[in-house]
Amino acid sequence: MTLIKSISGIRGTIGGKPGTNLTPIDAVKFAAAYGIWLKQYSKKEKLTVVIGRDARISGEMIQNIVVSTLIGLGIDIIDLNLSTTPTVEIAVPMEKADGGIILTASHNPKEWNALKLLNEKGEFLDAAQGAKILEIAEQENFDFAEVDDLGIITRNDAYIDIHIDEVLDLPLVDKEVIKAAKFKVVVDGVNSTGGIAIPQLLKELGVEVVKLYCEPTGHFPHNPEPLKEHLGDICALVVKEKADFGIVVDPDVDRLAFISNDGEMFGEEYTLVACADYVLGKTKGNTVSNLSSSRALRDITEKHGGTYEAAAVGEVNVVTKMKANNAIIGGEGNGGIIYPESHYGRDSLVGTALFLMLMAERGGTVKELRDSYPSYFMSKKKIELTPELDVDALLVGMENKYKDEQVTNIDGVKIDFPENWVHLRKSNTEPIIRIYTEAKSQAEADGLADRIISEIKEIAGI
């Protein structure tokens, strides 16, 4: 059982004792801290917060607690009920609200839940704001509203429809072009809200939909992280149905993975590559992803005459870098598409529409599309260290060892070699260095990771 408090919110497992799990008491405490911070931040007399949740079993309980806490602070609530992370993100500015909360533990299993916190733009809070909320929660210096000043709830179940309309209205999305392609697509909604939103979007675009696990019961039929080892059912069904491809989303619909027509993974890293390929082919511009994402995005961006930049890991860091560099598309290698023409948040609905446009205009199969992109392979390993070892000093040692290479140290140490790269990051919670590598073959990626592990051990004297 775990409770993780971080600058991006609070998440934990349901049940157990307060302070060690996400209990009702912890939900009250952190919802109140967010409400108090929002009052200080906005300096407004009357506040409104948008709240939505994924379909996980604990969602309704946590939602009732969070909503009641904010009402107790005198804050009005716009309740979207079952929703998606990107839907709540677009609802906040559309409603001219002061903030938003998404109740979801994203790709974590069903025993987890979390409060994801948004500002008035529908974007995640920055590090300083998150730290302030943690401080308020620790102090528990809450001042609740008197009876005549309690907040009110307005329920709005229309926002998934509104979100879909927003996607259809994007200049680079042409409903008739997609409809004419007569696609057949299998959708795995992992029994959460993606099972509502994605099939509905596809039907609006004239796509034939085969549903798999699209009932929003919260009983996830497999591990909800969209990785190959969890997706045997949809891979088989795509082949059986002779579908053009498959779509998989995580429970809150901000991560998007495709299954090729041959039943193989398209690759989460390549979701962003494909969407960027389409957007850059229509609009000249720059891209951003995080330091641990595939080099393939850089290659595609440069092919289209744009500039690629890497941000520190974390959506808020990617968004900050995108704004600074005027990037027209960006995201993360975990299947997160950020398209500012819509909003600054990872959005599987937007990603799905852009991918359908690419396929409709290019023709051919999804496998042929994947084969047309630069092929890279990743290795993700870790090295466990004893607590007394100075992890920062080890990373500095590696940086110095490779000072003649292209080195980035905004988030751990990333070393770019001509044909491959390695990214070293320390864990915030345990004495571990995570080692991510990418190369032109799996053997080369694994070999580079093993070599770097040996070199770290040598520097550490272990």
Does the annotation mark 106 as catalytic? yes
3-class SS letters over the chain: CCEEEECCEEEEEECCCECCEECHHHHHHHHHHHHHHHHHHHCCCCCEEEEEECCCCCHHHHHHHHHHHHHHCCCEEEEEEECCHHHHHHHHHHCCCCEEEEECCCCCCCCEEEEEEECCCCCECCHHHHHHHHHHHHHCCCCCCCHHHCCCEEECCCHHHHHHHHHHCCCCCCHHHHHHHCCEEEEECCCCCHHHHHHHHHHHCCCEEEEECCCCCCCCCCCCCCCHHHCHHHHHHHHHCCCCEEEEECCCCCCEEEECCCCCECCHHHHHHHHHHHHHHHCCCEEEEECCCCCHHHHHHHHCCCCEEEECCCHHHHHHHHHHHCEEEEEECCCEEEECCCECCCCHHHHHHHHHHHHHHHCCCHHHHHHCCCCCEEEEEEEECCCCCCHHHHHHHHHHHCCCCEEECCCCEEEECCCCEEEEEECCCCCEEEEEEEECCHHHHHHHHHHHHHHHHHHHCC
Q: Which of 106, 289, 293, 348 is an active site residue?
A: 106
> Taking Cα atoms as reference points, which of 92, 132, 153 lies closest to residue 5?
132
Asked if 330 contacts 309 with a C-beta cutoff of 8 angstroms, the reply is no
Residues with catalytic function = 106
